[in-house]
Structure 1
Amino acid sequence: MQTETNKQHTSINFELYKFFYHSAHDLNFSKAANTLHVTQSAVSQAIKSLETQLGVNLFFRQGRNIKLTFEGEVLYKHIEKAYNFIRSAENAIHSIKSLDEGTIFIGASDTITRYYLIPKIKMFHALYPKVRISISNRPSPKSVERLKNGEIDIAVINTNPKCSYEGLSVSPFSSIENLFICSGFRKDIYSRTHTLKELTQYPIICLEENSTTRRVLNAYYADHKLELEPAFEFGSLDVILESVKADMGIGFVTQNIAELALKKESVCRIPVVESIPAITVSVLTNTSKPLSLAAQKFLDLLIAKHD
């Protein structure tokens, strides 16, 4: 039997949640009213009606400002996510009409954007010059989080084989080779093959913890029963490369970052006995979020070589 509470909740007008979203987003009933093109009184009445039907207070006053209650914070987290999905669905419908407008939202790291996406974006822009592409440069784990929240259409990331990407479609795109490098002046290091344990005697320079590349490096050490203790941690592979050139230590970088420096011999590759795991670059989409026609076209362009 349906409870009275359930009956009450199923009768809520979903229009009230739109009033709540804008009020919670701006924490200002007047701004919400302007956005919705209604009176402030209409906003206040809508919030009061929603609070009555839910049986909780959603806002409280603090001086001249309004704040969310604990219950309001919980509701807003859910409504914000739902609102993003609804907006995404609306954008998808509008984009079906024509590729003369629209925006594709992509999440990718600086390195992936630089070495993998720029050529594809150039090709896509030549085909559909009126479609805008917005790239959010974040570490791969952050791009995955934003994709799950419906904030972006596509994520191009370094996939971690030990991570689950539940609810996401994963298409392999390319592979990145990792390597240890040292300054070109350190012939004593690069002239012979080392074990991973032997490398621990040198200062290690690597990415910060919040990157897939770092997680792969951590797992690589752990798999060989060693503990990684970096001397320097940076947020950019380019900075690591410059640090190695300055002979600050041994760097763990991707092949594409070090390629030019290796050719100029300003850095040198260090042969290592233990096989260094490569990283797969993949294109991810949210299976529960419909792609616009423009986003689908860009996705098709990205993974065309894998068809």
Structure 2
Amino acid sequence: MDLRQLHYFTAVVENGTISEAARKLHLSQPPLSTQIKLLETECGVTLFERGARHITLTEAGRVLYRHAVQILSMAKTTEEEMQNLRYGKQGSVHIGLISSCASPEFFKVIRTFHQHFPGVIFKVTERNTFDLLTLLENGQIELAVIRTPYHSRGLETLTLREDPFAAVFSAEKAPLGETSLAIQQLAQLPLIIYRRWEQEIRLLFQDRDLKPNIVCVNEDARTTLQWASAGLGAALVPRSVAASFPHLTAVSVDAPRLTSKLQLVRRKNAPISQNAFNLFALFEKNIKAKK
């Protein structure tokens, strides 16, 4: 088994047929079929159930595909880092970021790291928290900045910021003279919420025998703020998220349990590059210095 065979195998999986994979790989079909058969012989299992128009992965094929993606990603990362070292760029850090990572705490450490290691390239992948956790598990990124809640088992975590929620308004909709809003006041407003916190928000109102007037539930904190910016209601988001929209007005919410932690995570005991290790250690040192 070699990288070329794994590349061919993943191409067949992702294109659905050997003929389409051969076309994308600029190969003729017979040599590609031969390589797939050789791979099956070497593994001692059947990888595909071949249909008239498409192929279906067997259980063994699904397992191999999962590992093949990880191996090819690591090979690509290694090749890139070797090229960077060759040209004096001193490697890279593969880090995943959520869209709401507008945190001064994060960028302060990034600036310090860049001053110490000016040749290191940041390879940034932007996804939501759960997609980044999958990429982290697959070894496609080394570190990730994500938000609670999520299952932290198997992860080493550093809390960059604990964020209370705020109600965020367009300028014309902002309540005058209010520095904090109680849940009872929020019940009188049209609310725009991010789906991840929907259950917790509904429970807050339920505990007070109130019913929230939710006008929009969506999949991204930025979308939540965009709807608020259009004057459609109050967006309920972690306060630091609103920093990306300085033209909006953020008012504190009197609900101490409604918080979200912004955290830097890595897989426990998983191999990472020296640059990623140094960056994680710098964040850890910065956090300890604040205590």
Report the TM-score range of the alignment, normalised by the length of the smaller protein: 0.7 to 0.9
What is aligned with 1:295? 276
Name structure 2 gaps, 5 residues minimum.
13-20
What is aligned with 1:203? 190
Query: Is residue 2:283 matched to residue 1:283?
Result: no
Range with greater deviation from structure 2 (219-228 or 108-117): 219-228
Alignment equivalent of 2:239, drawn from 244, 252, 255 = 255
CA distance in 2 between partners of 1:82 and 1:182 (Å):
43
TM-score (norm 2): 0.72
Residue 47 of structure 1 deviates from its aligned partner by 3.0
Residue 76 of structure 1 deviates from its aligned partner by 3.7
What is aligned with 1:232? 216
Alignment of 1:1-307 (within 5 A): 15=1, 18-27=3-12, 28=21, 44-52=33-41, 54-58=44-48, 60=50, 67-71=55-59, 73-83=61-71, 87=75, 100-113=89-102, 115-160=104-149, 163-183=150-170, 185=172, 191=178, 195-207=182-194, 209=195, 211=196, 217=201, 220-221=204-205, 230-234=214-218, 237-238=221-222, 240-241=224-225, 243-258=227-242, 267=249, 269=251, 272=254, 274-307=255-288
Amino acid at match of 1:200: A
Amino acid at match of 2:238: T
Amino acid at match of 1:255: R
Contact 2:103/2:240, CA 8 A, preserved across alignment:
no
CA distance in 1 between partners of 2:63 and 2:243 (Å):
50
Residue 159 of structure 1 deviates from its aligned partner by 2.0
Q: 1:303 to 1:135 in 2, by over 3 A?
A: same
CA distance in 2 between partners of 1:77 and 1:45 (Å):
18
Structure 1 vs Structure 2 CA RMSD: 4.1
Name structure 1 gaps, 5 residues minimum.
1-14
CA distance in 2 between partners of 1:216 and 1:103 (Å):
38
Contact 2:166/2:251, CA 8 A, preserved across alignment:
yes
Larger Rg belongs to: 1
Contact 1:92/1:290, CA 8 A, preserved across alignment:
no
CA distance in 1 between partners of 2:66 and 2:244 (Å):
47
CA distance in 2 between partners of 1:294 and 1:168 (Å):
19
CA distance in 1 between partners of 2:139 and 2:206 (Å):
34
CA distance in 1 between partners of 2:152 and 2:76 (Å):
21
TM-score (norm 1): 0.69
Residue 120 of structure 1 deviates from its aligned partner by 3.0
Residue 285 of structure 1 deviates from its aligned partner by 0.3
Superposed CA deviations along residues 141-187 of structure 1, whole A, max 9, x for unmatched, are: 22122111211100111121xx4212111122222221124455557
CA distance in 1 between partners of 2:161 and 2:250 (Å):
24
Contact 1:59/1:72, CA 8 A, preserved across alignment:
no
Contact 1:203/1:230, CA 8 A, preserved across alignment:
yes
Identity %: 16
CA distance in 2 between partners of 1:306 and 1:268 (Å):
26
Residue 259 of structure 1 deviates from its aligned partner by 5.9
Q: Partner of 2:214: helix, strand, or coil?
A: coil
Q: Partner of 2:130: helix, strand, or coil?
A: helix
Amino acid at match of 2:133: V
Amino acid at match of 2:166: L
